Amino acid sequence: MTTSNDLFSKCYSYDVPTQIKAAGLYPFFKAIESTCGSSVVTEGKRRVMIGSNNYLGLTHHERVREAAKQAIDQYGTGCTGSRFLNGNLVAHEELETQLAKFLGKESCLVFSTGFFANQGSLSSLIGRSDVIYSDRENHASIVEGCRLAIGDTVKFKHNDMEDLERVLRTTRSKYEGALIVADGVFSMSGDILNLPEVVKLAKKYGCRVYVDDAHGLGVLGPQGQGTAAHFGLTDEVDLIMGTFSKSFASIGGYIAGKAEVVDYIRHKARAFMFTAALPPAGVATVTECLHVVQEEPEHLTNLWKNARKMKLALNDMGYNTLNSQTPIIPLLIGDDMQAFAFTKKLYESGVFATPVVRPAVPEGCALIRTSYMASHSEEDLNTALAVLEKLGHEFGILGNSERQEQLDGIAKTHFGQKSQPAPTFDREPVHQYA
CATH number for position 51: 3.90.1150.10
Burial per residue of 214-224, b for 16 or more beta-carbon CB atoms within 10 angstroms, e otherwise: bbbbbbbbeeb
Are 220 and 365 in the same domain?
A: no
CA 237 to chain centroid: 19
Full domain range(s) for residue 406:
34-55+298-415
Q: Which of 260, 295, 330 is the last residue of a domain?
A: 295
Are 236 and 290 in the same domain?
A: yes
C-beta separation of 277 from 81 below 8 A: yes
Are 331 and 254 in the same domain?
A: no
The DSSP call for residue 182 is E
Are 161 and 51 in the same domain?
A: no
Read off the CATH number of the domain in which 72 is found.
3.40.640.10
CA distance 398 to 392: 5
The residues annotated with a catalytic role in the active site are: 187, 215, 246
Looking at the structure of the chain, the number of domains it has is 2
Judging by beta carbons within 10 Å of its beta carbon (0-12, 13-18, 19+), is residue 99 exposed, middle or buried? buried
CA distance 226 to 219: 7
Are 258 and 323 in the same domain?
A: no
Are 110 and 257 in the same domain?
A: yes
C-beta separation of 121 from 146 below 8 A: no
Judging by beta carbons within 10 Å of its beta carbon (0-12, 13-18, 19+), is residue 15 exposed, middle or buried? exposed
Tell me the whole-structure pTM to 2 decimals.
0.94
C-beta separation of 327 from 247 below 8 A: no
Are 205 and 124 in the same domain?
A: yes
Are 237 and 329 in the same domain?
A: no
C-beta separation of 91 from 137 below 8 A: no
C-beta separation of 255 from 92 below 8 A: no
Residue 104 resides in a domain: yes
Are 197 and 258 in the same domain?
A: yes
Closest by alpha carbon to 324, among 277, 356, 371, 289? 371
Per-residue pLDDT of the chain (434 residues; tens, 9 = 90+): 667 789 999 999 999 999 999 999 999 999 999 998 899 999 999 999 999 999 999 999 999 999 999 999 999 999 999 999 999 999 999 999 999 999 999 999 999 999 999 999 999 999 999 999 999 999 999 999 999 999 999 999 999 999 999 999 999 999 999 999 999 999 999 999 999 999 999 999 999 999 999 999 999 999 999 999 999 999 999 999 999 999 999 999 999 999 999 999 999 999 999 999 999 999 999 999 999 999 999 999 999 999 999 999 999 999 999 989 999 999 999 999 999 999 999 999 999 999 999 988 888 999 999 999 999 999 999 999 999 999 999 999 999 999 999 999 999 888 875 533 344 555 333 333 32
Residue 7 resides in a domain: no
Strands 366-371 and 328-334: antiparallel
Closest by alpha carbon to 140, among 212, 71, 88, 210? 212
Are 392 and 253 in the same domain?
A: no
Are 185 and 205 in the same domain?
A: yes
Residue 20 resides in a domain: no
Q: Which of 295, 313, 330 is the last residue of a domain?
A: 295
